[in-house]
Every structure is written in C-alpha cells, then in structure tokens.
Structure 1
Amino acid sequence: MESKDYLKDLSEIKDLMNKSSRFISLSGLSGILAGTYAITGAAIAYWLVSTSNRDYLILDGYIFRLCVLILVLVALLSIITGIYLTTKKAKKNGTKIWDATSKRLIVNFLIPLIVGGLYILIILDQQKYGQAGALMLIFYGLALVNASKYSIGDIRYLGYIQLILGLITAMFPGYGFWFWVIGFGLMHIIYGTWMHFKYDVN
C-alpha cells in the first residue's frame, strides 16, 4: 500500500515538474485556424497569378507584392489568433501566459524563424527564389523542433513533418506552392485537430 502511495507521489511530482518546465497552454484550435488562413491565402494568391497575364511570378511585379502581402497577413492573423486562444486557454486552466518558460519557448522558436526569414529575404533580393518555399518549410520545422523542449512535446512531430516536406520541396521546386499548402495549411489543420481533441476537450 505504501509503495503505491510513493509511486503516486512520484507521479504527481513528475507532473508538477513537467508543467513548471513546459508551456502547456497552446491551443489546438489556433493550429486549425492557422491552417485555414494559409489555405485561404494560398487560394487567393493562386487566383491572382492564374488570372494575370503570366503563369508565374516575377519579383518586380505587383502580383508578387500582393502575394507577399497575403503571406504577411496570413502570418499576422495566425499569430494574433494563437495569442488570443492561448491566453484564453491559460486563463481557463489558471496558468500564467507570460513566465520564464513561455519566454524560453518564444526565444527558441524565433531564433531559427528570424534567421531563416532573413536568409530567404537575402536570396529573394538576389532573385534566387526557386527554393524559397522549401526554405520556409525547413526553417519553420527547425523552429518547431527547437521550441518543443519548452512546450507540448507533440509539436516536434509537426516540426519533423515540415522538415521532410521542405526537403521534398527542395528536390521538386516546381511543386513548391503545393507543398507549402500541404505544410502550412493541411498539416496545421490535422495537427491542430489532433491537439484539440487530445488536450483541449475535457
């Protein structure tokens, strides 16, 4: 009987330590909405390109600038939605949204993402944009894997998928748009749905 109590106590201590070292208030619904935003933005960009005089993008064209604007809006909407839903979940669970763990999570997520974003901007400025889609997926995957140490460990699996998709995209750059849709759109929806029913639904 005492051994069972000790095991129970150890399990509770382990759970408390895990919660104190990991940010666990990420919302699965935010992943679903981020994927929806990505697919919607991609559909609009595809329509813009397909109805223009060209079947491809050029860096100095207004269609390209519109597509970049759509990409920025998708990112902003995803960030705003993620912050709102995560804050809401944290309040519901009675946990802090901004503490040492969440700071470490954000720093470890942003380092690969910012470096990757700057590198992509550099190669775009040099008109070497054939691998831009692959690099977006790869650096985003690295950011997820890097941040998973301070959050729900399951996000590393999404990171691995993004890395694999990025490498495949590098081999088939002509299909970069579609792999981008799969990675940032479909995979976010699938992952968000899984996380929602695993962690959010009581």
Structure 2
Amino acid sequence: MNQQQDQLEALHEIRNIMDRSSRFISLSGLSGVAAGLSALAGAAVVKWHLSQYNVTYSQDSGATLTWSSIQFMVAVALGVLILAIGSALYFTARKAKLNNHRLWDSKSRRLLMNLAIPLAAGGIFCAILLYHGILYLIAPAMLVFYGLALINGSKYTYGDIRYLGICEVILGLLVSFFTGYGLLAWTVGFGVLHMVYGTLMYFKYER
C-alpha cells in the first residue's frame, strides 16, 4: 500500500515538473494589482475630465463626447497600458530572478504570442470603431478581446488566468447591451477584477 502511494506521489511530482517546464510561471500577482491600480487611476482622471465639461458618459451612450474628450480618453488609455506593461515587466522580472528562472525563453515567447494576436486584433477593431464614430462599443470590445487574449494565453501560464479572461468577456458582452455603462464596466474589468485576481494569485503562489 505504501509502495503504491509512493508511486502515485512520484507520478504527481513528475507531472508537476513537466507542467512547470511547459508553462511560464514567473508571472507575478503583484503585476495584476499594479495594473488594476493604474486602471482605477486612469478612470478617475477620465471622470474628472468629463466633469470639467459637464459631460456624463451614460448620456446617449457616449454620443455627447467631443473630439478633444475622445483624444484625452485615448491618451489616458495608452498611459494606463504603458503603466500596466511596465509594472508587469518589473514584478515578473523580480519574481523570475528570485526563483532563478529565465524571463525570456520559449515559454514566455509562446505566452506573449498567444496574448498578442487577440490583443492586436482587438486594438485594430477598436480603431475601426473609433474611425466610424461607434464610440459606445469601444469599451465593450476592449473587455471582450482582452478576455479572449487571457483565455488564449492561459494555456502557457497559470490556468487561473482563464477565469479572469472569462469574467472580462462576460462583462464586455453585458455592457454591449447597456452601453451607457461602458466607462464603469471598463473600470471594473481592468481595475477591480485585476486587483482581485492579482491579490488571489499573490497569496496562492507567492506567499
């Protein structure tokens, strides 16, 4: 009986080693928290900007936004993206160094590629929506494509990311029907959900 149990434990350990060798496990939960904080700060800045012009995003599904306000929101979104990527690189590199793992290898390349394809498609689609003036679907599209990117990339890192991706997709689809809440959904999806996910991942894998 003990011999059988030892064999099962050995097989389990071998499976864990093989799983670690095929997945990028240096992704830090703190990067999710930092990305969430960046998104919340960006949403607060956008809300402040709109209040200066007495514009409420929910009015006519965003149709009341001026071109200057649109440019400002795009700039803020790009700033949030840069901060999120920067924090992800910093915390992930720090975790990789602590665990004596390589940051850039075949696993991280596969992860990056599988994230990049849906994100690039989503970015182009959002640009097309902006070109045609369909502003009220940009926030839902960002959430849906980002969620699909996470689901696609989860095969090459922690499987928990799949659940975050599913939540992002569901949120994006819901707000596609209630377009006046696009800014709120964007704040929840990129801010709150990221912070919750990052915190859970940190305590599960890094403590």
When normalised by structure 2's length, the TM-score is: 0.93
**Where in structure 2 are there 5+ consecutive unaligned residues?**
none
Q: Deviations over 1:34-92 (max 9, x none)?
A: 10110111001111011115445667622221211111010000001101100110111
Cross-structure match for 2:53: 52
- Structure 1, unpaired ranges of 5+: none
* 1:10 corresponding residue in structure 2: 11
Instruction: Give the C-alpha shift of residue 155 in structure 1.
Output: 0.3
Q: CA deviation at 1:130?
A: 1.4
Count of aligned pairs between the two proteins: 201
Tell me the amino acid that sits aligned with residue 34 of structure 1: A
Aligned to 1:68, which of 68, 74, 88?
A: 74
Q: Is the 1:148–1:156 contact (alpha carbons within 8 Å) kept by the matching residues of 2?
A: yes
The alpha carbon displacement at 1:141 in A equals 0.3
8-17 or 155-164, which deviates more: 8-17
What are the residue-to-residue correspondences of 1:115-194 with 2, within 5 Å? 115-194=121-200
Q: Is the 8 A contact 2:30 2:199 kept in 1?
A: yes
Deviation at 1:25, TM superposition (A): 0.9
C-alpha distance in structure 2 between counterparts of 1:75 and 1:111, whole Å: 16
1:113 corresponding residue in structure 2: 119
Percent identity of equivalent pairs: 45
Which amino acid is the alignment partner of residue 69 of structure 1? A
Task: Assess if the C-alpha contact under 8 Å between 1:30 and 1:78 holds in 2.
Answer: yes
Q: Secondary structure at the match of 2:101?
A: coil
Rounded to whole Å, the distance in 2 between the matches of 1:53 and 1:93 is: 51
- Matched residue, 2:202: 196
User: How many angstroms apart in 1 are the aligned matches of 2:69 and 2:202?
Assistant: 36
Deviation per CA, 1:162-181: give whole Å up to 9, x if none: 01100111010011110111
In the alignment, residue 146 of structure 1 is paired with which amino acid? N
TM-score by length of 1: 0.95
Q: Distance in 2 between matches of 1:61 and 1:171?
A: 24
- The root-mean-square deviation of aligned C-alpha atoms, in Å, is 1.4
After superposition, give the CA deviation of every residue in 1:69-126 in whole Å (9 maximum; x if it has no partner).
Answer: 1110100000011011001101111111111111100000110010011011011111
**AA matched with 2:180:** G
Check whether the contact 1:28–1:194 (CA below 8 A) recurs between aligned residues: yes
Task: Give the residue type in structure 2 aligned to 1:117.
Answer: G
Q: In 2, Cα distance between the equivalents of 1:177 and 1:81?
A: 23
Letter in 1 for 2:6: D
Cα distance in 1 for residues equivalent to 2:115 and 2:94: 21
| 1:87 partner letter | A
C-alpha separation in 1, matches of 2:65 and 2:130: 8
Contact 2:115–2:149 (8 Å) recurs in 1? yes
Where 2:149 maps in the other structure, the secondary structure is helix
For the 8 Å contact 2:55–2:65, the answer to whether it is kept is no
Q: What's the counterpart of residue 98 of structure 1?
A: 104
1:112·1:142 contact (CA, 8 Å) conserved in 2?
A: yes
Alignment partners' CA distance in 1, 2:200 and 2:54: 41
| Between 159-168 and 5-14, the greater mean CA deviation after superposition | 5-14
